[in-house]
């Protein structure tokens, strides 16, 4: 994320969304399953799911690594409490991806699906994960790049000059961060995914209900007037495809080895 967002605001927003998250997280679940297919099929004893949210990926990680001790880490206490209630068999730890609270060389694998786009500095995420991995350990991670939610951004630009959509770091900068890290890249890709919605309410609700609505400092203060919402809806409708209203996601996926 290129514009700074306070960590407590992020934690609060996701904590509030915890109980409804899985019901609305359609694209997040699809992308999590795609990322799980990239996990190295070799024995891993100690595994961290970083930004585990509701713990959705934890049982799948246990299936891939049946012998592993698995920890779910997340910035949002509410998410971890929800995860623990759903999956009490795993360990949980409040964790900030930019400053992990774990020992050096603790994990054989760190998995992270669509969590670190909330961090200011991807290079700090990489160095923190590197420190906590054993030599030979893997980081399997996805992140969002600029181009994500571009249809919403374009539609709001027709309404006013406020920032209504979160800013995402440009893909080339994320790739440079990987190049400059101490990791060896096994696989790195940026792919576009499009999620379609029947109407504007469904699209904006899906972001709000998972806690991923706009938290950036330049967001419009106060209420958005009914006429602005009408203008926004019209601008979105102009982008309609036969499948519905598009919401694009530019997704960086990487498998990195220490």
Ligand X SMILES: C[S@@+](CC[C@H](N)C(=O)[O-])C[C@H]1O[C@@H](n2cnc3c(N)ncnc32)[C@H](O)[C@@H]1O
Residues near ligand X, by CB under 6 A: 10, 14, 25, 28, 32, 50-53, 56-57, 74-76, 79, 95-98, 113-115, 118-119, 210, 212
Collapsing DSSP to helix, strand or coil, 72 comes out as: strand
Distance CA 153, CA 106 (A): 40
> Toward ligand X, which CB reaches closer, 113 or 181?
113
Read off the tokens for 74.
Answer: 């997340």
> Toward ligand X, which CB reaches closer, 34 or 233?
34
Least Å distance, CB 205 to ligand X, is 15
DSSP letter at 119 equals: S
Measured between alpha carbons, how far is residue 233 from residues 103, 180, 222 in Å?
Answer: 49, 42, 19
Q: What angle do CA 87, 31, 241 make, to 5 degrees?
A: 135
DSSP letter at 32 equals: H
Read off the tokens for 254.
Answer: 């990487």
The residue to which tokens 């209630």 are assigned: 85
Least Å distance, CB 25 to ligand X, is 6
Read off the tokens for 186.
Answer: 């096994």
Measured between alpha carbons, how far is residue 166 from residues 1, 16, 73, 145, 218 in Å?
Answer: 8, 18, 23, 11, 10
User: CA nearest 92: which of 109, 104, 78, 108?
Assistant: 78
> Toward ligand X, which CB reaches closer, 113 or 166?
113
Least Å distance, CB 233 to ligand X, is 25
> Toward ligand X, which CB reaches closer, 68 or 207?
207
> Toward ligand X, which CB reaches closer, 17 or 236?
17
Least Å distance, CB 53 to ligand X, is 3
Burial of residue 161 (CB within 10 Å: 0-12, 13-18, 19+) is: exposed
> Toward ligand X, which CB reaches closer, 130 or 162?
130
Q: What share of the chain is helix, strand, coil (3-state, %, to 5)?
A: 40, 25, 35
> Toward ligand X, which CB reaches closer, 56 or 90?
56
Residue nearest to ligand X (CB): 53
């Amino acid at each position: 994320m290129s514009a700074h967002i306070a960590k407590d605001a992020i934690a609060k927003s996701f904590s509030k969304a915890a109980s409804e998250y899985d019901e609305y997280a359609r694209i997040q679940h699809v992308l999590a399953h795609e990322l799980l297919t990239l996990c190295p099929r070799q024995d891993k004893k100690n595994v961290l799911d970083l930004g585990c949210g509701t713990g959705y990926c934890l049982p799948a990680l246990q299936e891939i690594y049946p012998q592993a001790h698995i920890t779910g880490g997340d910035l949002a206490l509410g998410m971890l409490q929800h995860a623990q209630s759903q999956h009490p068999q795993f360990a949980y730890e409040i964790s900030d991806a930019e400053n992990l609270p774990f020992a050096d060389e603790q994990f054989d694998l760190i998995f992270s699906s669509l969590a670190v786009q909330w961090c200011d500095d991807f290079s700090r995420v990489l160095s923190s994960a590197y420190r906590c991995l054993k030599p030979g350990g893997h980081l399997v991670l996805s992140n969002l790049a600029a181009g994500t939610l571009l249809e919403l951004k374009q539609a709001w630009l027709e309404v006013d000059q406020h920032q209504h959509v979160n800013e995402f770091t440009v893909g080339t900068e994320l790739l440079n961060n990987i190049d400059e890290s101490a990791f060896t890249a096994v696989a790195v890709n940026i792919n576009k995914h499009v999620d379609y919605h029947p109407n504007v309410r469904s699209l904006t609700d899906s972001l709000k209900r998972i806690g991923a609505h706009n938290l950036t400092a330049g967001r419009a203060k106060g209420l958005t007037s009914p006429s602005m919402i009408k203008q926004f809806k019209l601008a979105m409708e102009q982008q309609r495809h036969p499948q519905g209203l598009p919401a694009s996601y530019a997704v960086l996926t990487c498998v990195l080895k220490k």
